[in-house]
Chains A and B, each alone.
Chain A
């Protein structure tokens, strides 16, 4: 429950404005509430417009939040990612096998059971044809493969664990499937894989009706399920608890099997676990400035994933653009409502003036009324938009260089900032929409109003 410092100032300003209106306003609050209730149809329509604007804002921001969570949460501060010099992304990186041994034996690299904590990885994106794709589904997808030498060690470095019932792929990386022809050259052994939760769900969606009926889990692929890629069967031996990280959309397999199979004969990255965050920074500096044996560049893992947030920024800009114009439209509706309210209550307001209420007190009363409309609509919109919290959606995160990026499954996240922003926007729309009608109302002379 943390609120971003950037929201404190507008929240405080609007809170102060609302507090001032209530504190200084002398006209009973009941009067405003009754007015809204009496003209319930108009009130309802105005509130509905606010609900639409706010729920849309919350849903769109939840999507962008989900993207930011992926890029912000996928890194460990003690991890250093090593790529070949000049590579903007893992896809374009090539590290020779001989470089790995020297890099992982640096004294700053932590050790587990006497072995350096170094994840040797080959990241590949491959085409997977989808035979008999369902209507509306693509006929092939891009599948992200991560070839690893030691999956248990790599998972420990990336702070990932297996779901119950799974195991890491074997040192051989393949297993013979039972059935007729097993062991014959026409029936090659299946490649063992560990799937991220997100891609397990995606692959599960493209099963035939027959396969779905026989499936143990209709929602996703499970341990023991088989899918086809590159004319080979791939056997699921484990599913990662990877929700909320970029690894959620990846397929992990034995590098020595999939590297040659898809023509990637080098590592794309090494992920080194340092003793702690400070050691990681030192290791990064050393590799970038002093290490000359191979042309490499090192980034803190957090920096690497942060660099993939370019798409997030583009989407956020799009959200701000749409919400701005929606807010202007919503404020127009409220302005009309308040103009009508002021017009209908011309005489009431004249009487109030004659009873001794000052102009600014009437102004405060009308602004409270429009603020109330905005806040009720805002609250309902936030509540409606919050229903998307936890929904999973696919997207892409990238550094913005070319079309390279990672296909990800994100979890839409409605946080306190999003809700507060929704309420602030509603309050601002309420105040701005009500200001002009209220000013028109208080400028009218009492006797003229009563005539």
Chain B
């Protein structure tokens, strides 16, 4: 009966489907961003990463002499805890055209240990086998050739180059330190679309060459280490490593701090807190409210147009609650199916066709729709349909048979 009613009230059903199909993706976009940021700032209890940076200043600039001992978590005595893995980051900004620098011809690269790209970088350590193998090939090439660069796909397209081509980067932050690089691969589509990675040995060699040529060290030579990532097994180990680093006399000028990745990201996101609050508490509820109103309107109209039919059902012995369930069921069924289809289509289109959706917040360039979005779609479709149809269903169940037939007569 519900299915027949849905088919008979085609315009109303189509409006609900269309409204749901249009608004559910927007809700999913908003929730995908919020869910990702919540996960990124949520302190983990096991297998988490910490970041060592300069204690006071931003951007953090530490001497490279810190790198070796920090990578060991400043472990110096028997019984000290060593991190499971580590990675150093040095930021190198360069442009392909020093005469006319633009966003398009500039890029920022992370100078690091090539092998650590696939063990320490978020999401690169959990790639599907095919993508992992492709990245591994590029990393092996970078280990063989220290002038290699791996680029994000958007950045590669922006500079209008291809894998296999050579580029010369003119230093932006490292003034007069130019690097000649060979593009050996790309990062998988998504989070690292605008990032690039180079072998840190090449940057360090270029700094040495600068000193040999000019007779004095580069101004950034003793400030070249930007941050060190450490992976520790649990919070206990984290606390112990943090204690080792903070107690070490080796890191006083400048002083350093060690914090969890979640805490570091939360600090960066603080600048966006009002925007995130607005997305969570204004935008998402307003979207749901609008959807519920559209559905409510459609169901109200449908109930009003079917007053006679509903009165006949009552005459035939239908109880008010049964009529209520009938109306609620119709709306819920349409909402649920539309929500599921919409979420499925959004998931497939965004993740598989477009490789994520671009909305740069802090250092996150692109977001993906999580698998949970299918449940969100069903939930949103069902919930808004139920909310929107409660009043019309209540009205339908209270229809007075005598009044309806009097009008008809």
Task: Point out residues on A near B: beta carbons under 8 Å.
Answer: 41-42, 45-46, 48-49, 52-53, 55-56, 59-60, 63, 84-88, 91-92, 94, 124-127, 138-142, 230, 262-264, 295, 310-311, 314-315, 318, 322, 325-326, 328-330, 332-333, 335-337, 339-340, 343-344, 393-396, 400-405, 407
Knowing that A63-B278, A91-B58 touch, tell me 6 more A-B residue pairs with CB under 8 angstroms: A86-B173, A92-B173, A127-B58, A326-B290, A329-B294, A401-B106
Min C-beta distance of B319 to chain A, whole Å: 25
Establish whether residues B15 and A403, one from each chain, have CB atoms under 8 Å apart when the complex forms: no
Establish whether residues B108 and A332, one from each chain, have CB atoms under 8 Å apart when the complex forms: no
Nearest B residue to A326 via CB reads: B290
Establish whether residues A325 and B293, one from each chain, have CB atoms under 8 Å apart when the complex forms: no
When the two chains form the complex, which single residue of A52, A88, A311, A403 contacts B289, counting CB atoms closer than 8 Å?
A52
Contact with A along B325-350 (1 / 0, CB 8 A): 00000000000000000000000000
With the chains together, A423 CA to B59 CA distance in Å? 45
Chain A residues near B103: list those with CB within 8 A: 310, 400-401
Nearest B residue to A440 via CB reads: B11
Stretch in contact with the other chain, from B180-188, B202-210, B264-272, B371-379: B264-272
Min C-beta distance of A317 to chain B, whole Å: 9
Of residues 19 through 33 on chain B, the ones whose CB sits less than 8 Å from some CB of chain A are 19, 22-23, 25-26
Chain B residues near A94: list those with CB within 8 A: 219
Min C-beta distance of B30 to chain A, whole Å: 8
Q: A326-B26, A329-B22, A329-B294 are in contact. Are A335 and B15 (CB under 8 A)?
A: yes
Establish whether residues B15 and A407, one from each chain, have CB atoms under 8 Å apart when the complex forms: no
Instruction: Answer yes or no: B242 CB below 8 A from chain A CBs.
Output: no
Min C-beta distance of B361 to chain A, whole Å: 9
The 8 closest A-B CB pairs, nearest first, are A333-B294, A393-B274, A340-B301, A125-B58, A336-B15, A45-B297, A49-B293, A396-B271
With the chains together, A393 CA to B286 CA distance in Å? 19
Q: A49-B294, A396-B272 are in contact. Are A86 and B56 (CB under 8 A)?
A: no
Establish whether residues B266 and A332, one from each chain, have CB atoms under 8 Å apart when the complex forms: no
Nearest B residue to A229 via CB reads: B56
Min C-beta distance of B10 to chain A, whole Å: 10
Min C-beta distance of B384 to chain A, whole Å: 11
Nearest A residue to B95 via CB reads: A86
Nearest A residue to B53 via CB reads: A127
Instruction: Answer yes or no: B370 CB below 8 A from chain A CBs.
Output: no
With the chains together, A142 CA to B297 CA distance in Å? 48
Interface-central residue, B55, B172, B257, B297, by most chain A CB under 10 Å:
B297
Establish whether residues A329 and B301, one from each chain, have CB atoms under 8 Å apart when the complex forms: no
Interface-central residue, A52, A311, A393, A405, by most chain B CB under 10 Å:
A52
With the chains together, A340 CA to B296 CA distance in Å? 13
With the chains together, A78 CA to B257 CA distance in Å? 42
With the chains together, A336 CA to B9 CA distance in Å? 11
Establish whether residues A295 and B290, one from each chain, have CB atoms under 8 Å apart when the complex forms: no
Establish whether residues A401 and B297, one from each chain, have CB atoms under 8 Å apart when the complex forms: no
Instruction: Answer yes or no: B157 CB below 8 A from chain A CBs.
Output: no
Q: A45-B296, A48-B293, A141-B267 are in contact. Are A332 and B25 (CB under 8 A)?
A: no
With the chains together, A384 CA to B183 CA distance in Å? 53
With the chains together, A418 CA to B172 CA distance in Å? 39
Establish whether residues A63 and B282, one from each chain, have CB atoms under 8 Å apart when the complex forms: no
Interface band, chain B: 35 or more
Chain B residues near A126: list those with CB within 8 A: 56-58
Chain B residues near A401: list those with CB within 8 A: 93, 103, 106, 108
Chain A residues near B271: list those with CB within 8 A: 142, 394-396, 405, 407
With the chains together, A337 CA to B254 CA distance in Å? 67
Q: A329-B19, A332-B19, A395-B274 are in contact. Are A45 and B293 (CB under 8 A)?
A: yes
Contact with A along B40-74 (1 / 0, CB 8 A): 00000000000000011111010000000000000
Min C-beta distance of A381 to chain B, whole Å: 11
Establish whether residues A85 and B263, one from each chain, have CB atoms under 8 Å apart when the complex forms: no
Chain A residues near B18: list those with CB within 8 A: 332
When the two chains form the complex, which single residue of A60, A88, A125, A311 contacts B172, counting CB atoms closer than 8 Å?
A88
Nearest A residue to B170 via CB reads: A86
When the two chains form the complex, which single residue of A139, A400, A405 contacts B263, counting CB atoms closer than 8 Å?
A139
Instruction: Answer yes or no: B273 CB below 8 A from chain A CBs.
Output: yes
Chain A residues near B173: list those with CB within 8 A: 86-87, 92
Chain A residues near B275: list those with CB within 8 A: 63, 315, 393, 395
Of residues 263 through 319 on chain B, the ones whose CB sits less than 8 Å from some CB of chain A are 263, 266-268, 270-275, 278, 282-283, 286-287, 289-291, 293-294, 296-298, 300-301, 304-305
Establish whether residues A402 and B11, one from each chain, have CB atoms under 8 Å apart when the complex forms: no
Establish whether residues B175 and A86, one from each chain, have CB atoms under 8 Å apart when the complex forms: yes
With the chains together, A90 CA to B108 CA distance in Å? 17
Establish whether residues A339 and B56, one from each chain, have CB atoms under 8 Å apart when the complex forms: no
Establish whether residues A263 and B363, one from each chain, have CB atoms under 8 Å apart when the complex forms: no
Establish whether residues A325 and B58, one from each chain, have CB atoms under 8 Å apart when the complex forms: no
Nearest A residue to B273 via CB reads: A394
With the chains together, A360 CA to B37 CA distance in Å? 53
Establish whether residues B175 and A138, one from each chain, have CB atoms under 8 Å apart when the complex forms: no
Min C-beta distance of A449 to chain B, whole Å: 16
Chain B residues near A393: list those with CB within 8 A: 274-275, 278
Min C-beta distance of B309 to chain A, whole Å: 15
Q: A142-B267, A329-B291, A336-B12 are in contact. Are A49 and B297 (CB under 8 A)?
A: yes
With the chains together, A266 CA to B171 CA distance in Å? 20
Instruction: Answer yes or no: B354 CB below 8 A from chain A CBs.
Output: no
With the chains together, A86 CA to B219 CA distance in Å? 14
Chain A residues near B282: list those with CB within 8 A: 56, 59
With the chains together, A219 CA to B291 CA distance in Å? 38
Establish whether residues B286 and A52, one from each chain, have CB atoms under 8 Å apart when the complex forms: yes
Establish whether residues B270 and A332, one from each chain, have CB atoms under 8 Å apart when the complex forms: no
With the chains together, A335 CA to B297 CA distance in Å? 11
Establish whether residues B22 and A138, one from each chain, have CB atoms under 8 Å apart when the complex forms: no
Instruction: Answer yes or no: B91 CB below 8 A from chain A CBs.
Output: yes
Establish whether residues A264 and B297, one from each chain, have CB atoms under 8 Å apart when the complex forms: no
With the chains together, A41 CA to B305 CA distance in Å? 14
